[in-house]
Structure 1
Amino acid sequence: MNDRFEAGLERRKANYVPLTPIDFIARTAEVYGDRLAVVHGEIRRNWRDTYERARRLASALQQAGIGRGDTVAALLPNIPPMIEAHFGVPMSGAVLNTLNTRLDISSLLFMLRHGEAKALIVDTEFGELAHRATLEFPELRVISVADAMPAEPDQFIRATDYETFLQSGDPAFAWTPPDDEWDAIALNYTSGTTGDPKGVVYHHRGAYLNALSNILEWDMPKHAIYLWTLPLFHCNGWCFPWTVAARAGVNVCLRRFDAKTVFDLIRREGITHYCGAPIVQSALANAPAEWRAGIAHRVSAMVAGAAPAPAVIAKMKEIGFDLTHVYGLTETYGPAAVCAKQESWETLDDSARADMNARQGVRYHLQAAVTVLDPDTLAPVPSDGETIGEIMFRGNICMKGYLKNEHATEATFSGGWFHTGDLGVRMPDGYIRIRDRSKDIIISGGENISSIEVEDTLYRHPAVSVAAVVAMADPKWGEVPCAFVELREGAQVSAEEIIAHCRLFLASYKLPKAVRFGELPKTSTGKIQKFELRARIKSEGSQ
């Protein structure tokens, strides 16, 4: 082998620096320091000040004994401290674990324990969790953010106020890039599996590349004005905290989604971009026309989750919102595939064009591959739009693996591909399309719901003999759980009682929205035939 291109040409500090998305804020503060970075109510903060606050956070965390390899959890709405945490926590060397604000306390406590969190940054709205966390984890450092309400003293006994904590840090803190771009930057827990949630570990390299891919897929210009309709706890906001910093854009915060508030912000702040699940798009598309009066500029929207209904896609186009459909999972940093639009689609009628735009699409710019393979042989399925296989990814925009779960990591990466568990087809033009989900995951309002988890809860009810849960179409949430129940002989119970029972164990979005009683279809070996249940629901909807 001729090694003339290697001899004496090793990596040096001058020609090799590990990739990290933290550097985006450093450059933007240097070049565009006076430009607006964050809007939240009366707060209007530029990039120089935002960078200083992130460095204060990093410095304060290190002074508190938190550094490389430690976990800092954050249970926050879409408010400025959550954006600051995406930079300040990794600047300290620690790993950011954003927690789903919609989860029940037992799930959140599991994540704090499994991730071995050393600190918890928590909004005062979630005081009950803070109280439980201080009781269960005596060494946990609690930092409270009083964004919308004061802290309850009995729930934040050991807490430090966030602003006070920041003041203890150095605004000129000299952070250093990671030693290796493979180092962990974030920990995100899955919400749609059997058993306990799995901890998905992201690396600096993947976060950096996906943040740039977001720019490329959207042709996102400098100084874009981005509205945080997407929860920042979802896959680190699909890496958009880092994307917006790279473009020296504006983060317009939104504590909770409300369609009228969104239109008001679009009009007042000149919002150019936002992301959201189909439920967000439907709420905006179907809002009263007067709410969007006065909005004349183009707004770019990105949607993931269950494919939006063709009617929603057509309506968004009608009101001047350009919708881009993306696809991915927690394990791929959020979206890592996109339904890239083709010029020829513009000649199609609205229905046909919307159908093309609803597909899961092709790989992101900086992802190596997405395809559909036979799950047993890993052979590519033909591009016929009919042959079903498993959707798989390969490339830098794939997680490091599952925290403390080597078996699951090896299984999901077997054969040199990341196995999504989603079943799909390849269309003649090479685009992929989901046909089903191999683990019966229900995607409701952008949240993953395990049908098995709901079934296990149903089985806890003394009147339930057999239970099955499948997805039911819903105009607001896209999909919701529908429970089919066989009762024990002689038992009597109402649908309302079944749902009340589930409420004792499940987060509200996981509750069955309908309960059907009767004998369930089964195979000769007793396995429930869920395809029959889906057909029943579809038949009900068509009547």
Structure 2
Amino acid sequence: MHPIAHAANRPDHPAVIMAGSGEQITYAEMDQAANRFAQLLRARGLGPDDAFAVLLENRIDYFTLVWGSQRAGTMLVPISTRLTAPEIAYILEDSGAKFLITSHAFDEVLTSIREQCPDLPVMLVGDDGSEGFEAALAAQPAEPIADQRAGATMLYSSGTTGRPKGIRPAPPADPDPQAVVPFLGLATMGAGMPTDGTMIYLSPAPLYHAAPLAWCSAVHRLGGTLVVMEKFEPEAALKAIQDYRITDSQWVPTHFVRFLKLDPEIRTKYDLSSHRRALHAAAPCPVPIKREMIEWWGPIVNEYYAGSEGIGMTMVRSEDWLAHPGTVGKAIYGTLHICGPDGEELPAGEDGLIYFENVLLPTYHNDPEKTREAMHPKGWMTLGDIGHVDGDGYLYLTDRKSHMIISGGVNIYPQEIENLLVTHDKVMDAAVIGAPDPDLGEKVVAVVQPLDMADAGEDFEAELRDFLAPNLSKIKMPKLFDFRPDLPREANGKLYKRELRDEYAEKADA
């Protein structure tokens, strides 16, 4: 199953629809555009394994680039639209990108990028000038290139604890671009996606992230229709489910929190009866939040745990989650191992570093030391998360190793405190970090985004302390509350805690 086959068998079937504008492209149109882009890559001198970078907002052209690269054997490097010019320039240089495809939406950083990477060719989507992408594409033939082969995607880590690192995937087992990929089995047998082309899939997240790219690609391999939101907005997402008769979707817990903060009249306004499967991942979901989503949407809310590295995956359906609240499921790809600080495997119930044992493992581009640090002596690999399995083999996440706070010699995991805070009616979002403290080493700081900034102040802080007190020991109680209108959260749900920690470290130094 591949878009090439669907273009031949169902040429007029919609491949992508943009949720806001209604712009769409059929499988035949996407096939021709992908062939032209593969031709363009060859014309620009890119052969197998050569890299090019993409800095684009959610737009229909993204899939021309994805499927064209998949025919040219090249390395697509998606770049987060949230990054600064120096961070983008670092990725361009580190990846060895031969050119950059972007749009005028990024003119603000593009000037600086050009200064830092003066020899890097740029193509602009939506530009009529000499760097215009559409004209360059139209000049190429729509026939397949002679040497088609499967391409790859090198994702860069979100950089939440330092400079982002390129995750270089293991080479495909079969270079044929139409070869079956392992992820398709996870999509159909794990997530239950239909194989008959009837799927209508809503993608609300930025396309540069691992999960949207992987699941959207799976939808195209299965002949379904993608409905892509230009930008997530909770009511607009509910309206899209109703208007496009969405059957499948993928979310992060932040989306769920924002759904549940909507006025009940808005939440119940839309017909969601077509919705059959709602996947979520990217961050641990607070138990009360997920329970409320299942009560609202029904037992269609299924969760998985994985990472951009693609070393393994767990999954849990609603029914099993209700019997094991808080779990992210059992392993469906790779073998789980929970290990202590010396690498020893731990028994059920004990927290340790989570490793996956797998045949195919990636490496970190230009960083053998980071690759080495992620490896167990037995050849297993970790994403850096801490957790445990129960007696039935279900995995539970405790937090990321890099987020752990050590206060007065006690290990404190911020996730526990954050999960409590976001269940408060007046809290939209929360981040808990460790800040330097002369007595304790680190003190617990809660950075809170209120639903209404008018609530921020001493009275609200006292209210939150009273709210947390029944469930937190004194050592875990935040020593400081900081109220802000927004948190540095990536659109894929990841919190940039490094920015907050650096800010408090600078204050401490001052």
Q: Tell me, yes or no, whether TM beats 0.5.
A: yes
Residue aligning to 2:167: 200
Q: After superposition, what is the alpha-carbon deviation per residue over 1:223-273, rounded to whole angstroms, capped at 9, x for unaligned?
A: 211111122211162511320112101111211111121112111111111
Residue 297 of structure 2: which of 314, 320, 329 is its match?
A: 320
Give the AA of the match of 2:230.
R
Residue 111 of structure 1: which of 87, 91, 97 is its match?
A: 91
Residue aligning to 1:508: none
Q: After superposition, what is the alpha-carbon deviation per residue over 1:170-203, rounded to whole angstroms, capped at 9, x for unaligned?
A: 211235453xx7xx61111112464422110124
Question: Aligned pair 1:79/2:59, yes or no?
Answer: yes
Residue aligning to 1:262: 237
TM-score (norm 2): 0.75
Deviates more, 1:279-288 or 1:259-268: 279-288
SS at match of 1:313: helix
Residue aligning to 1:382: 347
Give the AA of the match of 1:295.
L
Question: Aligned pair 1:32/2:10, yes or no?
Answer: yes
The question of whether the paired residues in 2 share the 8 Å contact of 1:372 and 1:432 is answered with: no
Relative to 1, partners in 2 of residues 1:533 and 1:328: Cα closer, same or farther, differing over 3 Å?
Answer: farther
Residue aligning to 1:310: 287
Give the AA of the match of 1:36.
P
Q: After superposition, what is the alpha-carbon deviation per residue over 1:389-448, rounded to whole angstroms, capped at 9, x for unaligned?
A: 21111225x54201111222233233210122212111010111112322117xxxxxxx
Residue aligning to 1:143: 123
Unpaired runs of 5+ in structure 2?
174-179, 407-411, 439-444, 449-455, 459-471, 483-510
The question of whether the paired residues in 2 share the 8 Å contact of 1:306 and 1:478 is answered with: no
Residue 280 of structure 1: which of 252, 255, 263 is its match?
A: 255
1:376-525 to 2 correspondence within 5 Å? Answer: 376-379=342-345, 381-383=346-348, 385=349, 387-396=350-359, 399-414=361-376, 415-440=378-403, 473=418, 474-475=421-422, 479-482=430-433, 484=435
Q: How far apart, in 2, do the equivalents of 1:105 and 1:405 lie?
A: 22
Deviates more, 1:117-126 or 1:432-441: 432-441
SS at match of 2:172: helix
Q: After superposition, what is the alpha-carbon deviation per residue over 1:129-179, rounded to whole angstroms, capped at 9, x for unaligned?
A: 222222222332212123xxxx6x9xxxx862222122022211235453x
Which runs of at least 4 in structure 1 moved beyond 6 Å after TM superposition?
531-534, 538-541
Residue aligning to 1:504: none
The question of whether the paired residues in 2 share the 8 Å contact of 1:278 and 1:477 is answered with: no
Q: How far apart, in 2, do the equivalents of 1:167 and 1:533 lie?
A: 65
Give the AA of the match of 1:185.
A
Relative to 1, partners in 2 of residues 1:310 and 1:419: Cα closer, same or farther, differing over 3 Å?
Answer: closer
SS at match of 1:428: coil
SS at match of 1:416: coil
Give the AA of the match of 2:182.
L
Relative to 1, partners in 2 of residues 1:538 and 1:317: Cα closer, same or farther, differing over 3 Å?
Answer: farther
SS at match of 2:89: helix
Relative to 1, partners in 2 of residues 1:373 and 1:341: Cα closer, same or farther, differing over 3 Å?
Answer: farther
Give the C-alpha shift of residue 326 in structure 1.
1.0
Q: How far apart, in 2, do the equivalents of 1:35 and 1:24 lie?
A: 14
Residue 337 of structure 2: which of 342, 360, 371 is its match?
A: 371
Q: After superposition, what is the alpha-carbon deviation per residue over 1:261-297, rounded to whole angstroms, capped at 9, x for unaligned?
A: 1112111111111112101122223323444423332
Residue aligning to 2:138: 167
Relative to 1, partners in 2 of residues 1:355 and 1:139: Cα closer, same or farther, differing over 3 Å?
Answer: farther
Give the AA of the match of 2:287.
P
Question: Aligned pair 1:70/2:50, yes or no?
Answer: yes
Question: Aligned pair 1:331/2:294, yes or no?
Answer: no
Q: How far apart, in 1, do the equivalents of 2:361 and 2:69 lie?
A: 19
Residue aligning to 2:476: 535
Relative to 1, partners in 2 of residues 1:534 and 1:208: Cα closer, same or farther, differing over 3 Å?
Answer: farther
Deviates more, 1:219-228 or 1:307-316: 307-316
The question of whether the paired residues in 2 share the 8 Å contact of 1:325 and 1:339 is answered with: yes
Unpaired runs of 5+ in structure 1?
1-22, 346-352, 442-450, 453-467, 488-494, 500-512, 516-530
The question of whether the paired residues in 2 share the 8 Å contact of 1:144 and 1:159 is answered with: no
Relative to 1, partners in 2 of residues 1:295 and 1:400: Cα closer, same or farther, differing over 3 Å?
Answer: closer
The question of whether the paired residues in 2 share the 8 Å contact of 1:123 and 1:144 is answered with: yes
Relative to 1, partners in 2 of residues 1:189 and 1:533: Cα closer, same or farther, differing over 3 Å?
Answer: farther
Q: How far apart, in 2, do the equivalents of 1:408 and 1:71 lie?
A: 21
The question of whether the paired residues in 1 share the 8 Å contact of 2:101 and 2:125 is answered with: yes
Q: How far apart, in 2, do the equivalents of 1:406 and 1:24 lie?
A: 34
Aligned length: 430
Give the C-alpha shift of residue 56 in structure 1.
0.9
Relative to 1, partners in 2 of residues 1:125 and 1:481: Cα closer, same or farther, differing over 3 Å?
Answer: farther
Relative to 1, partners in 2 of residues 1:357 and 1:80: Cα closer, same or farther, differing over 3 Å?
Answer: farther
The question of whether the paired residues in 1 share the 8 Å contact of 2:399 and 2:413 is answered with: no
Question: Aligned pair 1:210/2:183, yes or no?
Answer: yes
Relative to 1, partners in 2 of residues 1:339 and 1:176: Cα closer, same or farther, differing over 3 Å?
Answer: farther
Deviates more, 1:532-541 or 1:249-258: 532-541
Q: How far apart, in 2, do the equivalents of 1:340 and 1:427 lie?
A: 17
Q: How far apart, in 1, do the equivalents of 2:474 and 2:88 lie?
A: 33
Give the AA of the match of 1:371.
H
SS at match of 1:85: helix
Give the AA of the match of 1:169.
Q
Relative to 1, partners in 2 of residues 1:78 and 1:168: Cα closer, same or farther, differing over 3 Å?
Answer: same
Relative to 1, partners in 2 of residues 1:50 and 1:477: Cα closer, same or farther, differing over 3 Å?
Answer: farther
Residue aligning to 1:224: 199
Q: After superposition, what is the alpha-carbon deviation per residue over 1:190-218, rounded to whole angstroms, capped at 9, x for unaligned?
A: 12464422110124638921243122222
Give the C-alpha shift of residue 539 in structure 1.
11
Deviates more, 1:193-202 or 1:44-53: 193-202
Q: How far apart, in 1, do the equivalents of 2:152 and 2:479 lie?
A: 43
Q: How far apart, in 2, do the equivalents of 1:49 and 1:79 lie?
A: 15
